[in-house]
Structure 1
Amino acid sequence: MRKLIDTNPQSVAGAKPAAGARGLVGSRAEHDSAWKHVRGQARYIDDLPEPDGMLHAAVGQSAQAHARIKSMDLSAVRTYPGVVAVLTVKDVPGHTDIGPVFPGDPVLADDIVEHIGQPLFAVAATSHRAARQAARLAKVEYEPLEKFLTAEQALEAQSFVRPMHQQLSGEPDKVLKEAPHRLQGQLYVGGQEHFYLEGQACLVEPTEDAGVHVHTSSQHPTEVQKLVAEVLDLPIHEVQVEVRRMGGGFGGKETQAAPLACIAALLARHTGRAIKYRMARQDDMVQTGKRHDFFTTYDIAFDDDGILQGADIMVAGRCGFSPDLSDAIVDRAMFHSDNAYSLGDARVTGHRCKTHTVSNTAYRGFGGPQGMMVIECAMDDIARHRGLDPLDLRKRNLYRPGRDTTHYGQVVEQHVLADLIEQLEASSDYRNRRVEIAEFNRDNPVLKRGLALTPVKFGISFTAQHLNQAGALVHIYTDGSILINHGGTEMGQGLYIKVAQVVASAFQVDLDKIKVSSTRTDKVPNTSPTAASSGSDLNGMAALDACEKIKARLVEFAAETYGVSTDEVRFADNQVIAGDKSVDWAEFVQSAYMARISLSSSGFYSTPKIHYDRATGKGRPFYYYANGAACAEVVLDTLTGEYRCTRVDILHDVGDSLNPAIDIGQIEGGFVQGMGWLTTEELVFNDDGRLLSNGPATYKIPAVSDAPPVFNVQLLKDSPNREATVFRSKAVGEPPFMLGMSVWSALRDAVASIADYRYSPPLDTPATPERVLNAVTATRQWVKEKDTAAAGAPATGEPVC
């Protein structure tokens, strides 16, 4: 069951969009590639026509997690049928380190390897099969070195990829010491494989000027361009990068697409032939980074009503062997360790743990989900400790006027969560269901039901300030059609159609007059990655800026041509209206061209107000917050640990929606992906550091059957963004992911019912049936111990996350 709530967006000039122009902002326009996807006509990298003489790439992979390479014999690789070229790090003409922010990522290993699967050498062959088979024939002799595989091991050894960072507000030590109540706990939060449908892939073609043209499945074309140029020792303008679409990204193609392009470009330079590098699924899962798993702890003070007074929180991310984006990812975990709650006096410490595993990377939420989990764990624990409904405790601790400053100094200016939760509490019938579920659990010794309603407050902006910028290029042709190019990339999330709707609304013309072309570095330079939920915010505003420049020229031309003031010129219903005169859009554009009026412009946008001082741990890293809440119900078999999510109700705030249908789809997909992260998706490594869950047979993403049979999604009405975003909309890419926390909390609620909700069961994530069954066993053991305790002994549970 789905419910779509229309927004009521304003036009650029402040009035409602004219009814006659179709597909404007606020309408449920379908995805621009929807029919291409359905018909199989949408082209991905592996669908592109193959140039004559094209070769296929593969790499030899390290078999050790941490070792010194004593010798490497590649003779069998070079002589394998179909092999044309074999390159090592010594064949790289330019930079050999392709770390995206900080150094540490060799394009090919030199004398040290630091994770199983690390590329040792590159092979170009006449077929994909030949390249992969040849790459396996290398004879490599290793000298094993000490290795760390978990965050806990790295913490103990003080092994880090970047320095520790801390945020401090008030005097948490004093508050914790003097507080009426104090709880401590810890939680392990598992990682997650991106499992995009289209794996990592690129096609690199040499150009006539010693450069290359790169077709890549990347969220960050500019970074691919820069790193390829550096590896080839070329100026950046000799490298063009193009992205039409990706078959999913989720952050996994923000930095990790670049190594493929660099290796393919090296082979293309060496052979003078086009190179396709398409990873097989197993290679992709072994060689590319995941969501960081985190080891987290909390020490929290609160009063008799459960209101937080102080906190000491530690988050430690397993970063893998190199920094990649881990500095910013752990930062965001720290920023979101409060989620929606005022912590009081607080200290939040973040560690970037170096392990000899593949370098973990961006994933939807970018550390925010892992940070939120520690405080949501604490909320459940405090509620059980005080005998409260967890929802009541959460509501008491929400940010509100008077308690609206975060531990990093940003003031929460738009308080929507209290009303949003009240609406969801009513629409989901939370209170009646809570009573019904408690009665059901009392009467059923085997099946137990759980219910939880959890909020999300997610900061929107890149935490690296310089990335908060975007460019766009808008052309109007003489028939009135409009072409847009911008720096954002399309990975199925609907960015292209949203930007097209922004431009259609700017000129008040039908959406079918608008086309968005492939993202290309030779059209819009120096772009930021499509990440941090900022694609529409940044690129929509850049496109709008370009439109406003063109409109200013057209308005002046119309006023002069028709003898009216500029205030009397407006755009509506596929027409330009000047006083009493109405002219068809295409006719007006043709006349403007004949009068030599420029019909093209670039646009630019940079996010205002944001800043952060790492030295003090204070600032305003986010332009605004996106909010939402989910109410999830589960049913659990306490004999096996198996469970089902039976119903979910979501109310989410997207401001004035650019496209309600696209936003609903993002919320549904984000929730299911978040639920998968916390329940079924388990990354398993053996003691040598080898990934065992390396394919769909051993790694379980949610299926259609895992989605709740009752799934109600609504957009919060009448909640425009108070900040001047594009049409007062709010980001929708990442925030819904964290709504999946409600399922994990509902599972804990179901298990806690065994102890009459007096005990907070331990449940690390992902909450697989095995872990849930262990939680059931621990809870029953606690009940047994309490039942055999001396009469009159207190029966409040200690928090063990």
Structure 2
Amino acid sequence: QLWRHFDLIANVPVRNAGTLAGNISIKKAHPEFPSDVFLSFEALNVQIIIQELSAPARSMPILEYLRQPFNKAVITAFELKAYLKGRFVYHSYKITPRAQNAHAYVNAAFLLDMDVTAWGIVNSARLCFGGINPDFVHATATESFVIRQNIFDKEVSAQLFSLLSAEVVPNEVLPDPSPAYRRSLACALFYKTLLKLAPVEKVRAEYKSGANILKRPLSSGIQTFETIEKNYPITQPVQKLDGLLQCSGEATYMDDTLTTSDTVHCAFANATRVGANIEQIDASEALAISGVIAFYTAKDIPGTNNFCDQAFEYEPEEIFCSGVVRYYDQPLGVVVALTSDIAKRAASKVKVIYSNLPTNTKIYPTMADVFKDQAMVRIKWSTAAQSNSLQLSDQPDISARGVFEMGGQYHFTMEPQTTVAVPFEDGLQVWTATQWMDQTQCVIAKMLGIRVNDVQLKVRRLGGAYGAKISRGNQVACAASLAAYKLNQPVRFVQSIESMMNSNGKRWGCRSDYEFHIKNNGKIVGLTNTYYEDAGCTLNENPIEDLTPVTAKNCYELNDSNSKIFGQPVITDAPSSAWCRAPGSTEGIAMIENMLEHMAFEANIDPADARLVNLRSGNKMGELLPRFLQSTEYRQRRKDIAAFNARNRWIKRGLGLAIMEYPVNLVGQYAATVAIYHVDGTVVIAHGGIEMGQGMNTKIAQVAAHTLGIPLSFVKLEYSDTINGANSEVTGGSLGSESLCFAVRKACEVLNTRLQPVKEALGKNATWQRIVAEAWTRLINLIASEYYKQGDMRNYLVYGLGLTEIELDILTGNHLIKRVDLLEDAGESLSPYIDIGQVEGAFVMLLGYWLTEHLIYDRQTGRLVTNRTWTYKPPGAKDIPIDFRIELLQKNPNPAGFMRSKTTGEPPACLAVSSIFAVQHALQSARQDAGIAHEWVRLGAPTTPETIVLNSGTQLSMLSLE
């Protein structure tokens, strides 16, 4: 039991490096730390052996050690007692926001000395809890109460839980969950012990499974796709070109670039008084620190203080704040020092004098805060010009309304925002983690007041991006470039995760206020949806006009006569929100799918039937949905889950369905260059796109090899740069791979045309190497540059279906994703392994959005309090679906797409909303058991364990054995 609990501490590398004594030492220094080692040892009455400098070793209880001051003392050992099996019972628990690598919401450890002659009578008890408040360890009143009491007696157990609930008084401190949830957890964990200890005949059959913590089996998966061998290497399932490099840690990223002895490092100094005006900046203390070289602010910028250029349809955003502070931790300057640590330490010493300090002005870091205070002045587009009133063409049987809220999401990338800027005799060479070299090059040049051709960018690969490196990384790139330009030496700027989370924009949060009118069979008579999206402090990267509306009707029979859908941005006191994987479409599809779920609930029909009856006539989903329901055994599984839920009070299962029609609009232009080397016939490609984990370069290599008729091993991808890729659009929105494959194929076709006379002269048996060598002797150009431009390919629709089965522990709110089925329309996949990986990654990333990732702000200051991995939890390896089944729709060529394919990078993200529909399904069963009337539950993003427990209807009086 002890080892099983310790296995939940941190992760394997941390446990390998850490020690038990180290963990206890952290607890001593930080009483608020919910140490699992301390809690377990205290419950087991473990003694700690202390060796002081000039005194003999002594033994004491751990709690005594924590409360006494010690000077120059070392923990030398722990003494664990042996407890008689059958008499002493020990159980411990740890409830966390995700499966592993997370500290506890609440943890608990119980040691009970039971009377073996009268099982249920307690001789003594040690009931220890963590995560309640810094001073709370033992539930002493409850420990005293249970002595010589039969805890299986109904009246005794009722008194026990009443006393425990009164005794456990959690503090309220951000970002911890609410006191109500943590108090509920404390009682629930002892209830689990009670269920586990009680004789079988004393426990009601439906309650027995509540004794257990959810146990996750080993993950498995099934991937189904087709390949067309005659087209190889197109459609061939191949490993990503740099996959082995990445898995072995040998792949290089921006921070691995150009490590020279004269390189200096940067850190932002930040403003923290939202709404105040910066009057004066005093960096004297920072500059006095040894190793600090310089400090630059807005007044040191020779050109424009802006990292979002209007040429790219952005409104200005200051590199360094020079006036009114728009959000907490807004950068106001950059410290340059010999090391990154020195720069960060010095940055914290920069002092700011503010004027016009707001006294009664409220801070609104999120849209939820705006609506809570009804601060409607923050809504930027008036509703006066857009009436959402609806004239119904038929009389509805059912009408209902609701609110659906989705928070933001941090782009949790492996690689931070990173720039290395190096001055050369004729300008700057910049290695930067950007998705849009053209924009980054432009803003650096304008910031320095130099020509664009004096700034050249190079990008090998990014360690993830998801939209975070479209424009948000420009701030770091400009700061590093300014320092390099001023100092005339190499500068490296690697932003810390805390700095990124504080000052970089997140996914646009969204709120939907909707009303619908339906027939008894779920058929829509009319609906309205006024939605609001959280812009942060500017309207840059706005999805409301172009991205959300085109998905907000999905594949349903909705038009101007039976629906009114209107969106508005809301300005908040937070960093300007940013495009994040499937921006706008995630929210648009989630809103309408949530409405269909709500309709099914109100009409008391199956959610699948609500969708079927509302599909647009002639839509491809009319063919796909029935097939999907059959292949996933949807109807039978709904019946099986209903039977399971009827047998279990505290463990519930649910099934959630989502469907998607995702429009792909192939805009912009992208450049590519293909070169053949005459010596051995190998090929190198450079382009204006960015490889950021999505497998773009692998697809490009496959296309080049196929078009030229050579082995895939002959093709290599070089750095992306602003020469070969000049003027190329952003790599994002699932646009880059197809567009650049198109440009590369055009270049290869040009080369084929040039080589054709040589092939004819040498005959059909000539090798590729000989053809190329001969072409070179004939002075034929073996380099071709081409580009994709908007209009070269037609737009198209991507269809997808997702079904998620979830299991909930109603007592704790924890969940297991038992199975996920995804059917993704990928056309004729260019590279099935790449596309399968994209489907998996997009879906899992958005599982985090819906279930675990919670951005929490301090309303008083606007500070983000979940600004590091300790408090912000994307899903880990044990949070993914246990059974993950993915099918790429077969025999499904796309006549509009590149080589009959479709994109896969973003659309599957929209299907992850099925996870909260599964939660809703499971939760409704628990609420019915709790005697709550038929009532829709408002879930959204994120739906955390706290959300689940507090909406389950569980009351203290329900924690009984019978």
Give the shorter-chain TM-score range: 0.7 to 0.9
* Structure 1 equivalent of residue 349 of structure 2: 137
The gaps in structure 2 that reach 5 residues or longer are 1-219, 957-962
SS at match of 2:476: helix
Amino acid at match of 1:126: L
Instruction: Note if contact 2:225-2:889 (Cα within 8 Å) is conserved in structure 1.
Output: no
Whether 1:92 aligns to 2:301 is yes
Q: Paired residue for 2:681?
A: 480
Q: What is the aligned counterpart of 1:362 among 567, 572, 579? A: 579
Alignment-mate amino acid for residue 908 of structure 2: P
Q: CA deviation at 1:556?
A: 4.2
Name the counterpart of 1:695: 868
Post-superposition offset of 1:194: 1.1
Equivalent of residue 294 in structure 1, options 510, 513, 520: 510
Query: For 2:564 and 2:726, how far apart are their aligned partners in 1?
Result: 40
For residues 424-483 of structure 1, the C-alpha deviation after alignment (integer angstroms, 9 at most, x for no partner) is 222221111111111111222222110122112212126xxxx52211111111121111
Residue 107 of structure 1, aligned match among 319, 323, 329: 319
1:710 aligns with 2:883: yes
Aligned to 2:703: 502
Q: Take 1:113 and 1:68, find their aligned partners in 2: how far apart are those partners?
A: 6
**CA distance in structure 1 between the aligned counterparts of 2:745 and 2:385, rounded to whole angstroms:** 37
Alignment-mate amino acid for residue 443 of structure 1: R
Distance in 2, Cα, partners of 1:330 & 1:129: 43
Q: Confirm or deny that 1:736 pairs with 2:882.
A: no
Change (3 A) 1:226 1:422: same
Aligned position for 1:341? 556
Distance 2:308 2:375 in 1: 24
Counterpart of 2:727 (choices 526, 532, 537) is: 526
Deviations 1:16-66 (A, max 9, x none): 33xxxxx61111111111111122211111112313411101111111222
Instruction: Say whether the 8 Å CA contact 2:544–2:567 is kept in structure 1.
Output: no
Deviations 1:738-767 (A, max 9, x none): 221111110011112245694322213200
Once the two structures are aligned, what percentage of the paired residues are identical?
30
Q: How does 1:168-179 map to 2 (within 5 A)?
A: 173-175=390-392, 179=396
Matches within 5 A, 1:156-167: 156-159=374-377, 163=381
Q: Deviations over 1:629-652 (max 9, x none)?
A: 111111112222222111111111
Which whole-Å deviations, capped at 9, do the CAs of 1:116-167 have from their partners, x for residues lacking one? Answer: 1111111111110111111111121224333333325557444559646999
Question: Is the counterpart of residue 419 in structure 1 residue 631 in structure 2?
Answer: no
The equivalent of 2:546 in structure 1 is: 331
Provide, for residues 356-385 of structure 1, a one-character-per-residue CA deviation record: whole Å limited to 9, x for no partner.
111110110012111222111111111011
Separation in 2, partners of 1:126, 1:755: 60
1:770 aligns with 2:953: no
Shift of 1:258: 0.9
Secondary structure (helix, strand or coil) at the match of 1:714 reads: strand
Indicate how the Cα distance of structure 1 residues 223 and 163 shifts in structure 2: closer, same or farther if over 3 A, else same.
farther
* Residue in 2 that maps onto 1:197: 414
- The separation in 2 between residues aligned to 1:638 and 1:343, in whole angstroms, is 37
Matched, 1:235 2:451: yes
Matches within 5 A, 1:357-506: 357-401=574-618, 415-461=619-665, 467-478=667-678, 479-506=680-707
1:643 aligned residue: 815
SS of residue matched to 2:548: helix
Pair 1:320-2:536 in alignment: yes
**4+ residue stretches of structure 1 with deviation over 6 A?**
164-169
Deviations 1:773-792 (A, max 9, x none): 222229x99xxxxxxxxxxx
Give yes or no for contact 1:200–1:217 (8 Å, CA) kept in 2: yes
How far does the alpha carbon of each residue in 1:295-340 deviate from its partner, in whole angstroms, 9 at most, with x for none? 21112233332122332212211111122212x3563122221233
CA distance 1:529–1:379, change in 2 (3 Å): same
Tell me: CA distance 1:4–1:762, structure 2 relative to 1, closer, same or farther (3 Å): closer
Instruction: Give, in whole Å, the separation in 2 of the partners of 1:605 and 1:355.
Output: 38
Q: Quote how far apart the aligned CAs of 1:606 are.
A: 2.0
Gaps of 5+ in 1: 11-15, 18-22, 402-414, 563-577, 611-621, 782-801
Pairing partner for 2:484 from 254, 268, 272: 268
Q: Is the contact between residue 533 and residue 732 of structure 1 (CA under 8 Å) also seen in structure 2?
A: yes
Corresponding residue for 2:754? 553
**SS, match of residue 613 in structure 2:** helix
Paired residue for 1:2, among 212, 221, 224? 221
AA in 1 matched with 2:281 = M
Aligned alpha-carbon RMSD (Å):
2.4
CA contact (8 A) 2:810 2:926 kept: no
Q: Distance in 2 between matches of 1:141 and 1:684?
A: 27
| Structure-1-length-normalised TM-score | 0.86
User: Is the aligned partner of 1:38 residue 2:247?
Assistant: yes
* Deviation (angstroms), 1:541: 0.6
Could you tell me which amino acid in structure 2 is paired with residue 585 of structure 1?
W
Counterpart Cα distance in 2 of 1:625 and 1:159: 37
Question: Match for residue 790 of structure 1?
Answer: none
Distance 1:699 1:665, change over 3 A: same
| Whole-Å separation in 2 of the counterparts to 1:257 and 1:152 | 27
List per-residue Cα deviations over 1:491-529 (Å, max 9, x = no partner). 111111111101111112111100111110011211111
Distance 2:849 2:699 in 1: 28
Distance 1:9 1:727 in 2: 12
How many Å separate the matches in 2 of 1:772 and 1:229? 51
8 A contact 2:266–2:343 mirrored in 1: yes
Residue type of the partner of 1:106? E
The one-letter code of the counterpart of 1:191 is G
Secondary structure of the equivalent of 1:388? coil
Displacement of 1:595 in angstroms is: 1.6
Equivalent residues of 1:289, 1:358 under 8 A apart: yes
Query: Would you say how many aligned residue pairs link Structure 1 and Structure 2?
Result: 721
Inter-partner Cα distance in structure 2 for 1:161 and 1:432: 46
Does the C-alpha gap of structure 1 residues 718 and 194 become closer, same or farther in structure 2, counting only changes over 3 Å? same
Matched, 1:727 2:899: yes
1:357–1:636 CA distance, 2 compared to 1 (3 A): same
One-letter identity of the residue aligned with 1:504: A
| Contact persistence 1:632–1:746 (CA under 8 A) | yes
What is the SS of the residue equivalent to 2:262?
A: coil
Q: Counterpart in 2 of 1:570?
A: none
CA distance in 1, matches of 2:465, 2:255: 16
Query: What secondary structure, in the 3-state scheme, does the structure 2 residue paired with 1:384 have?
Result: helix
Higher-Rg structure is 2
Aligned counterpart for 1:249 among listed residues 455, 459, 465: 465
Change (3 A) 1:154 1:176: farther
What secondary structure, in the 3-state scheme, does the structure 1 residue paired with 2:222 have? coil
Q: Which residue of 2 aligns with 1:791?
A: none
Give the direction of change, closer, same or farther, for the CA distance of 1:260–1:708 in structure 2 (3 Å limit). same
Counterpart residue type for residue 948 of structure 2? V
Alignment-mate amino acid for residue 188 of structure 1: E
* 1:237–1:727 CA distance, 2 compared to 1 (3 A): same
- 2:403 matched to 1:186? yes
CA separation in 2, counterparts of 1:442 and 1:213?
66
Is contact 2:689-2:736 (8 Å) kept?
Answer: yes
Letter in 1 for 2:874: I
Q: C-alpha separation between the residues in 2 aligned to 1:722 and 1:758?
A: 47
Deviation at 1:172?
Answer: 6.3
Query: Is the Cα contact below 8 Å between 2:307 and 2:471 reproduced in 1?
Result: no
Q: Secondary structure at the residue paired with 1:353?
A: strand
Q: 2:758, 2:774 within 8 Å by CA — same for their partners in 1?
A: no
Give 1:398 deviation, angstroms: 2.3
1:667 is displaced (CA, Å) by 1.0
Q: How far apart are 1:609 and its partner, in Å?
A: 8.6
Q: Letter of the 2:652 partner, please give it.
A: K
Matching of residue 350 in structure 1 with residue 526 in structure 2: no
